[in-house]
Structure 1
């Protein structure tokens, strides 16, 4: 019997504090940084983002999204036998213990299932989904919880208007279950370390202290140029692997980073904008959380329905990129 993995539940969570562009611009003005709603929207399509409170951690956001995905799947936490969490902002410095293990504890999962983090920045959810799909198809696991969760507000330099206006906090999750029906049709992952320094947090640790900058750095023009190129290539590569044409897609759910990158990707695929799920205007770039956040929004409002073909794709620091084609 051939095993497949199928998406059986989605969930997402945004922290309560919504910060619109005008509010953020006023806060930045107090620091002598000039920006405006019009400037932000024209360059990114972003109107607002959400920030977690200081005592709220990545795992806290992840747990809320996970609970909703588990409930939507109609299972219990102890039915989960694999947890993969994608994040660049883990609960602990150095990423250990993994935030996935902390989520396991907070969900009350006591079955000793495997739990680990994946670090591929904004491509993290696609990477994590691909890994979970492989585990399920191998027969090693039956129900995987895949999460993207970020508190990017913790690594933003609020004196750099080119980056601080773009990012926000949030979490999204899916449950994949073993199935006799095809669900995840194809996935592809790539990386090119020669571009590692165009999107990064360049600091490290030394002697128990931060060595260098702990703030996010981005060469926006370089990222934009590379993103549009690799997203087009990986989309076609993934479609080809599944024997599917772009015209057979019901929905494109891209990484919600910048509306211009997203529009460029849809145009290259020959897809109308009406087939692209867009949430970037409301929550900004939430890195590994952005794709599952957008996916859950479209599932819950009824746009994405059973039988639909959905292409998810993202790019991130590393430089990493990937795509996953799923039949819901």
Structure 2
């Protein structure tokens, strides 16, 4: 039904290393951060660098090998848009010089955003509204982090990924699984800056780590089982599993709880960190470059987090 025709990504030039963080917080050291989070360094957007800028950087790389004139729809996932309005996807259409017949919309999702975007792309393709979709996942979460928030500064990095989702009738029609529990919304939130708490001067990210961990462990094993069942598959049929790259401790705990063999599980966030909606496509690109994903591979992808929201699906390469 759909095919991932191309993926590329762009990371800001500024790099924040564990050593840099340890200089600010002497009670931590670089090795301790690496052991706990699984990250050595992460890229941080400059003050005047936005998700649109990162998306343009990723597109510039992508269009070296993919004809942009084939694109007929833009889906732009971000929780840190350039403006409340207009839609960032509309600005991107103009910046890329795409035809005015190109559809464009933003959607606000975080860690589950890439998989939701794939499901949206499949829907647009299935009703004949698009054939070649540019799915953008771009975030600058570090702009929401307090300088004194040593925990979240070790986790999050900025980045953008761009994915071409094409109509391909030779591919199997795999079904997605999604879910929502808005009752946990306050456990990962930027409270200020929106309509309810208007001042953006203190728009800072709050994350209740233990609650996020509990939510993940309670919901994601069922999501994986539901996705496999819905597609009449088992883990034996899957070549690789790529979860949202939250942190290595959580991922390894989840892997064991879901019964996923270590050799089928991909983690690669050591020099990137948690880039929110962009983690899965960045990991797919990395796994492909390392030969972990080949032609014909079946890859199970799952995103989960802020919202709470979660989504999973099967991709055939």
Q: Shared fold by TM > 0.5?
A: yes
Q: How far apart, CA to CA, are the structure 1 residues paired with 2:59 and 2:121?
A: 15
TM-score (norm 1): 0.91
Verify the 8 A CA contact 2:21 2:150 in the aligned structure 1: no
Specify which of 31, 35, 46 is matched with residue 42 of structure 1. 35
In structure 2, do the counterparts of structure 1 residues 20 and 251 end up closer, same or farther at CA, with 3 Å as the change threshold?
A: same
Paired residues, number: 317
**1:163: Cα distance to partner?**
1.4
Q: Paired residue for 1:193?
A: 182
Matched, 1:87 2:87: no
Matched, 1:149 2:138: yes
Mean CA deviation greater in 188-197 or 201-210: 201-210
Specify which of 299, 307, 312 is matched with residue 310 of structure 1. 299
In structure 2, do the counterparts of structure 1 residues 271 and 55 end up closer, same or farther at CA, with 3 Å as the change threshold?
A: same
**1:313: Cα distance to partner?**
0.7
Q: Paired residue for 1:63?
A: 56
TM-score (norm 2): 0.94
Q: Paired residue for 1:11?
A: 8
**1:252: Cα distance to partner?**
0.9
Q: Paired residue for 1:290?
A: 279
* Structure 1: runs of 5+ lacking an equivalent: none
Verify the 8 A CA contact 1:66 1:147 in the aligned structure 2: no
Q: How far apart, CA to CA, are the structure 2 residues paired with 1:229 and 1:125?
A: 21
Specify which of 15, 21, 26 is matched with residue 24 of structure 1. 21
Specify which of 235, 240, 245 is matched with residue 251 of structure 1. 240
**1:238: Cα distance to partner?**
1.1
Name the SS for the 2:211 alignment partner.
Answer: helix
Mean CA deviation greater in 177-186 or 290-299: 177-186
Mean CA deviation greater in 200-209 or 139-148: 200-209
- RMSD of Structure 2 on Structure 1 (CA): 2.0
Matched, 1:97 2:90: no
* Structure 2: runs of 5+ lacking an equivalent: none
Q: How far apart, CA to CA, are the structure 2 residues paired with 1:71 and 1:250?
A: 29
